[in-house]
Structure formats: structure tokens, C-alpha cells
Amino acid sequence: MDRMACVEVRGAGARADNLDAVAGRLSQFSPDVEPSRDAPGVFWVNASGLSHLYRSPRHWAERIAAALRADGHRETTVAVGFTRFGTYAVARRLASTERRIAVIRDRAGERALAGKAPLDRLGLDRALIDSLEKLGVRTVSAFLELPAEGVRRRFGPDAHLLHRRASGDLNPPLQPIRSPEPLLARHDFDQPESDVTRLLFAAKRLVDRLLAAAVERREMLVELTLHLRLDGSFTGTELLAGGVRTEVVRPAAPTLDIAQLMTLVRLRFESIALERGVVDLRVAGRSVRTAAVQEGLFVERPPRDLSAANRALARVRARFGDAAVARARLAEGHLPEARFAWEPVHTIPLPASVMVRRGSAGARDDTAPPVSAAVAVGRDVPMVRRVYANPHPLPAGHVAERAGPYRIAGGWWRMPVSRDYYFARMRNDDLLWIYYDRARRRWCCQGRVE
């Protein structure tokens, strides 16, 4: 007897960015998983043919619920039954009780349990629920007592569709998502190979095959992973577990350009030193579906070619590693030097300039950001504050003007800190961000304004 289950995760698990992870977890318990198109967080799972792997349908359902709870999805219900609507109605009914798992023995039992489900638990339109409540119709069984044609005429096509599903007149088979075949190509060398040119020649043939497969899927490559299995049993720093070295290159944007991809592969090959020759090379690709774009038509060219900059950064990463290209991001910290951290950067966004407004050098506005209270420079220009990771003593020179102070105090839990910050214009027109350290009685330079 064919069985299916309805699994529902609620709360954070129902967010769009979590649904793929939930589907992936469910695929570990059944090869056929269908996410609902209408109810985020609802999945139908094929529960047939699993008797050799699990003691019982309940054991299978308990394993699913336990796995999802381990992933942080505490609000999970699992209903194992026979029909799409029946399992869905039972799962939604469970959500209002302390039970989280229901295993139904036969179709009659499923109809009985589904019939007790309140209509307001099925995610229906509020206006439809209110109209049905006026007729005293509050459960699925009461709804099914209404004639189908009368439901269609009085309440519309959506209510009629619900009636057909609940009655079993419309019960489409499971439509599981199918994961595409991985993009993978392999080349075995007759002899251990260490020549970069010959390695590149072999890699290009593999990448060509991946690109052809990506084109058939109407996708573009966003990442190449190269697995180089090395000859011998050398266990030095150049080898990873199993004698395989793995290198990853990422283009600046999804691409089908073989020249761009092979440039990155060449730079990566030239940057590594192999202690042994390569006996086989495997290239795996990660792709994304992209809309077809007709380049060059009706496109306003920006003054800065960000795509060229991103391609340049991709070449730097390929040559020196992913950590070679980084940017500062805001972080939680009390002192300015602790309020940013470095993170890898893959693309360059279009910068947003911060304009310094004309104002009095000595004016103080505690409601405005500090940069707006900086010393006036006589005209509106974009300003950037460069913060030093480690403050250093204030260089010799005369301060022409300054704006401040902006006080920071704290650190009592470790080392008391009390600083008065100023924006200072020096006699040589340098704009510095300085502070007076009250505890240590000294002036320091925290950064520059450019």
C-alpha cells in the first residue's frame, strides 16, 4: 500500500532561505520529496518501500522529527498517511495539540482524522473562513457535506478546488524535486604529471565538458573545484587526506567564458608547488540558473567598469588564495579599532559617497554622525575616514582647527578607557582623527580623513 507523509516546519524553518536545507535533510530519509508551492514549510515525502530500513512507519517519522529538531526546527509535525490532502490536514491539526507525530493505519482512519481538522488551520483565505462560519461550517467534514457544485457557484473556484482535494476527487501523485546530475569530469594520466602546461591542457578539456553540460541546463558556472590526486604516499604539507589536493577558483560573476575560467585555473596552478606528479584530475562545477541577458543593448555604461574590477580580483584570489582579497565590515566593539573586522570579498559593490556638508569649524551637533561634524573643508566633497588598526602617537605639527570632543569611556571590566576624540586640521591641511587618552595623558592619532 502506497504511503506518503506530510512534514511541516514552522517558525524560522519556513523562511525561504531555509527551505532548501529542510528539503535536503528530508531527502536523507526518502528519495522523493516535494515542497509545497502554496504553503511554505510544508513538504510531502514518499513513505513507501522503507520497511527494510526502518522498523515501522512511526520509527521513520520519529527519525525525521529528531533530525529536524537537531537542525533547530523545534516546531515540526509529521503525519504519515495515504493522500496529499489527508496528511496535510492531519499535520495542521497536530500543530494545535501537544502531539507532533501521527501514523495513520488505513484510509478510513485518515478521512476521519482529516475531517476533524478546523478549516482555519488550513491556511485558507480569511473571507472564505468567515463566510463558511456563518453557515456553521468549521471543520473539513462539515465542509464536505456541502455539494461541490454549490460550493463552486457560491464561494468561487478556490473553494471548489479545496472541496475536490478534501473529497479525494483531486489527488495528484507526488511530484518530487529532482536534483540535477553533478557537473563533474575526470581525466586519468598515463604517467604522473607535474608540467603545468599539460595539466592546463587536460583541465581545459574537462572545463569544456562542464560548460557544455551547463549550457544544456541553461546555467552558468560560479565555481570550479579541482581535485588533484597525487602520486605516491607523500604526507607532507602539500597533501591533504588521501593524497588529494583540492583547489577552488571562482569567477567574478556567473560565466560561460572558457578563457576567463582557464585564466583563473592557470593562475592557481602556477601558484602551487606539488611534491609529486598528478595521476588523475577531477573538475567539479557549481552552476546557477540565470536569465538570458542580451548584452550591449539599451544598457547605460557606468563610468567605472565594476565587472572588470571583479575579474581582476578573481585573478588575485586565484593567484594568492581567497584570503588575499578582503574588506572591513562593522563589528560589535567598544573602541574604534575593535569596531571592524576583515572578511573575504568576492564582488565590488558600487560605492555610496558620504558628503560632508558645509558648516562651522567649531560647530557641535550631537545628533549628527561624527563625520558630519568634521572640520569644514570649504566645499562639498566625498570624505572617507581611514581608521588605523593600532593608534599611534600624534605626529609633530600644529593644529589649525579642531571639532569635538566626542567622548568614549568604558573598559572598566578589563582596562579603563577614557578618550576625547577630535577631528583636527593640521597646518599642512592634513585632516586627522585624534584623541586625548585621559588615563595615560597622551595624544594619539586614530586615523585620517581623506
| Residues 225 and 283 grouped into a single domain | yes
Backbone angles phi, psi at 405, to 5 degrees: -85, 160
Q: Cis (ω within 30 of 0) for the bond into 405?
A: yes
**pTM check: above 0.75:** no
| Residues 309 and 375 grouped into a single domain | no
Are β-strands 76-81 and 101-103 bridged in parallel, bridged antiparallel, or unpaired?
parallel
Cβ-count burial 247-270 (b if 16+ within 10 Å, e if not): bebbbbbbbbeeebbbbbbbbbbe
Backbone angles phi, psi at 233, to 5 degrees: -120, 30
Task: Check which CATH number belongs to the domain holding 238 and give it.
Answer: 3.30.1490.100
Domain count, the chain: 3
| Residues 15 and 153 grouped into a single domain | yes
| Residues 146 and 203 grouped into a single domain | no
| Residues 153 and 190 grouped into a single domain | no
Q: Which domain holds residue 23?
A: 4-167
In a domain, 126, yes or no: yes
Mean of pLDDT over the chain: 80
| Residues 206 and 126 grouped into a single domain | no
> What are the beta bridge partners of residue 449?
385, 431
Q: Quick one: pLDDT band at residue 150, thresholds 50, 70, 90?
A: very high
Q: Quick one: pLDDT band at residue 89, thresholds 50, 70, 90?
A: very high
Tens digits of residue pLDDT in 257-305:
999 999 999 988 888 887 788 999 999 999 887 654 333 334 445 555 6
Q: pLDDT at position 332, please? A: 66
